[in-house]
Structure 1
Amino acid sequence: MNLPLLRSATAALDPPFGVIDATALDANVADLVRRAAGKPIRLASKSVRVRQVLADTLRTNGYTGLLCYTLAEALWLHSKGFTDLVLGYPTVDRVGIAALADDVAAAAEITLMVDDHAQLDLIDAVIPPSGRPSIRVAIELDAGYRFGLLKFGALRSPIRTPSAAADLARIIAGRRGFSLVGLMAYEGQIAGVGNTGGGPRGAIVRLMQARSAAELAQRRSAVVAAVRETADLEFVNGGGTGSLETTASEGSVTEVAAGSGLFGPGLFDHYGAFQPAHAAYFVLPVVRKPTRSVATLLGGGWVASGPVGPDRLPVIADPPGLRYVGVEGPGEVQTPLLGRAARRLQVGQHVWLRHAKAGEPAEHLNEFHIVRDGVITDVVPTYRGEGRAFL
């Protein structure tokens, strides 16, 4: 861990500020390539939200293209020189659709995600096929795992079976103004759920993930075969940072997705197959001492999206020996901390934290300071720092 060097390099900065450990980032970039075992990695932009980091990573062998989260983001990144952009989610952004249809170069590089013919209808309502270039689309497959009445995984696409995927593929092929070029499936119940917990819960999660991976490999292969009867797919995308090994091993998958693994956020502290280096931090100041045993930070309520729970709170990285006050937690304007270290902390000192999710700190920060070998080598803006807020 390089925290002493990071602290020394940034000691003169006024919080709040963000820090990226360049050595840890480099290690994570390389480790994702190793884990992908030869499959190209499509970089999930929502888990980064720093244009310079995206560009630098894409220059590394093993990475190809971006998985974006909104059409507005994809159009902006294309205007900045990025190519091969796939939306990970359907869009109903009428302004964005009109802009895409009006830009032949963008339409050739941006692929929209669909799982329902209603999404095609909306695009046609914005601008009919006769007035636009062909719109590239990909089908999203539901990758969730079902066991009896139980369902594991995000509630995403209604397309689950080979027949349903083939039906939608035929609908797309039969309509003017669309080109079916890809298929995507995100197995969040494997890629986004930690599995190192002890006791019955940990054992159940690991068993579910193993069975889910086996079921999905068989089903995804059948879906890809069914869709390929209608369309010559350019890509079949799958997985996420937490499932690279299992997803990359599937013959039907041509590329894998990853993004969070670059920064190694708090949620990845509980994965058994890999352990990313801690590459991204945010730093807050101690502004008051309400008692000898409490040190209070300014701000701190940077709670991650998803189901409410302790794992969504920022991880207190340094100094060690700090914990949240249970009745208050991390708050919008202040965060009181308890523990031995709280007694030693003084007004003006810095506390280092790691967000539970990788990309969300960028919505609070205008920039990240890049530190290598104890020296700030660059300061790079986040999307917010460039005046962009997409979602």
Structure 2
Amino acid sequence: MSPIPGLHAATAELDPPLAALDLTALRANAADLVRRARGVPIRVASKSVRCRAVLEEVLGGGLTAAGGFAGIMSYALPEAIWLARRGAGDILLGYPTAHRAALAELGGDETLRAAITLMIDDVAQLDLIDAVLAGRRARPRVCLDVDASLRIGPLHLGVRRSPIRTPEQAAELARTARARGYDVVGVMTYEAQIAGLPDTNPVVRLVKRASALEIAERRRQVLDAVRSVVGELRIVNSGGSGSIEVSVASPEVTEVTAGSGLYVPTLFDGYRGFTPRPALFFALPVLRRPARGIATVFSGGYIASGPAGKSRVPKPVWPSGLRLIGTEGAGEVQTPLTGAPELTVGDRVWFRHAKAGELCERFDELHLVDADGTRVAVPTYRGEGRDFG
């Protein structure tokens, strides 16, 4: 059953545009992620959430025992510092950083260094950190990002992330980092070509299976090589919401990362291995009726990142039967919709976004709606005046 009628009723007196999160669906999605992880802890990807109240709900919602949610994967060092100063601990940066001011703040604060682990995949990143922290003995903890894409001959199937791919390259970077005083505590392998691709056809499923076998074997070799340099590792991170089962099948993996699977944007509609429940929606008001069967709503051009195309535009989902117009799409200040014979000026149309946390860059607050219809408004990152890029 769609949660939208409940969200619609709970926010009836509010003026749209507004964004609403169904807590029942969020909690069900969180529990299902834990089930799929089969006892392996889940680190929450903050870029897919972008709301501190929701992070706290997930990390403190009764699913944080062994094998539940533990820790945050941050997408920017200023964000990680902001979260740490507000009580978050065990924050793994998901990407390298070149933010000098944030590095200087991290290097000068023992409490921050105890909470935050940086991500590296290049000696040049160590050079930058060393230049910022010149004269300071303490160095932050680091985790190595190892490329998890699948290569078949000249084909590169996956995203362009780390230049570190082989066991030898990983060991050499670990050796250099250790010689410079860094504590190498982990290895990350994010198989985006598995986690981020819906199961749309047999070819995609075949590629995903081949990729899972390849990265499982190469990860073992990388870990053996890195451990020969630094000893045991505290973090072996892998996966995303779409690939949890694949990641936890490898006994070396100590944690997986998930975030989008909490909100469930439209890009998750094509997965076969699990049944997600859409939880985050936004509502826009009808402004006019330019023609029979067409209703125009305010705003709506919330286009998701990634390759431009139909998969990145928002989807009208309630009332049912509405569609974007191909010649106009989702507009900056208005969006016309077909299939709207009953809508009148002042009515609402509910949409889903193509991606998860990116919607929070459009709204100052989320309206969290519980099963009994009670509602509370909480600020997004944007609502707290924070923009981390």
For the pair 1:31 / 2:37, whether they are aligned, the reply is no
CA contact 1:369–1:376 (8 Å) conserved in 2 = no
Per-residue Cα deviation, 1:319-339 (whole angstroms, up to 9, x for no partner): 110111111100111110011
1:146 pairs with one of 143, 146, 151: 151
Name the SS for the 1:337 alignment partner.
strand
**2:124 corresponding residue in structure 1:** 118
**2:77 corresponding residue in structure 1:** 71
Per-residue Cα deviation, 1:96-129 (whole angstroms, up to 9, x for no partner): 001101111001111111000000000111122x
Per-residue Cα deviation, 1:196-222 (whole angstroms, up to 9, x for no partner): x3xxxx111000000000111000111
Amino acid at match of 1:22: L
Measure the CA separation in 2 of the matches of 1:274 and 1:312: 22
Residues 247-262 of structure 1 correspond to what in structure 2 (within 5 A)?
Answer: 247-262=247-262
Measure the CA separation in 1 of the matches of 2:239 and 2:73: 12
CA contact 2:144–2:186 (8 Å) conserved in 1 = yes
> How far off is 1:379 after superposition?
1.0
Structure 1 gaps, min length 5: none
Residues 1-391 of structure 1 correspond to what in structure 2 (within 5 A)?
Answer: 1-59=2-60, 60-61=63-64, 62-128=68-134, 130-176=135-181, 178-195=182-199, 197=200, 202-231=201-230, 232-339=232-339, 342-391=340-389
Per-residue Cα deviation, 1:44-80 (whole angstroms, up to 9, x for no partner): 0000001011012112220111000000000000010
CA contact 1:112–1:136 (8 Å) conserved in 2 = yes
Identity %: 52
CA contact 2:10–2:375 (8 Å) conserved in 1 = no
Name the SS for the 1:225 alignment partner.
helix
* Runs (4+) off by over 2 Å: none
Amino acid at match of 1:78: A
Measure the CA separation in 2 of the matches of 1:376 and 1:146: 50
Name the SS for the 1:241 alignment partner.
coil
CA contact 1:9–1:374 (8 Å) conserved in 2 = no
Measure the CA separation in 1 of the matches of 2:94 and 2:83: 15
Per-residue Cα deviation, 1:133-189 (whole angstroms, up to 9, x for no partner): 22111100000001122111110000001111111111111113x111111111000
Per-residue Cα deviation, 1:4-32 (whole angstroms, up to 9, x for no partner): 22211111110011100011011001000
Q: Which stretch of the first structure deviates more once superposed, 299-308 or 57-66?
A: 57-66
Measure the CA separation in 1 of the matches of 2:3 and 2:294: 27
Measure the CA separation in 1 of the matches of 2:77 and 2:206: 37
CA contact 2:323–2:338 (8 Å) conserved in 1 = yes
> How far off is 1:375 after superposition?
1.7
Structure 2 gaps, min length 5: none
Amino acid at match of 1:180: V
> How far off is 1:227 after superposition?
0.5
> How far off is 1:132 after superposition?
4.6
Q: Which stretch of the first structure deviates more once superposed, 56-65 or 84-93?
A: 56-65
Amino acid at match of 2:260: S
Measure the CA separation in 2 of the matches of 1:337 and 1:123: 51
Name the SS for the 1:131 alignment partner.
coil
Amino acid at match of 1:179: D
Amino acid at match of 1:19: A
> How far off is 1:2 after superposition?
2.1
CA contact 1:8–1:374 (8 Å) conserved in 2 = no
Measure the CA separation in 1 of the matches of 2:137 and 2:18: 44
Amino acid at match of 1:20: L
Amino acid at match of 1:325: I
Amino acid at match of 2:292: R
Measure the CA separation in 2 of the matches of 1:125 and 1:323: 54
> How far off is 1:237 after superposition?
0.2
Q: TM-score, normalised by structure 1?
A: 0.96
CA contact 1:114–1:137 (8 Å) conserved in 2 = yes
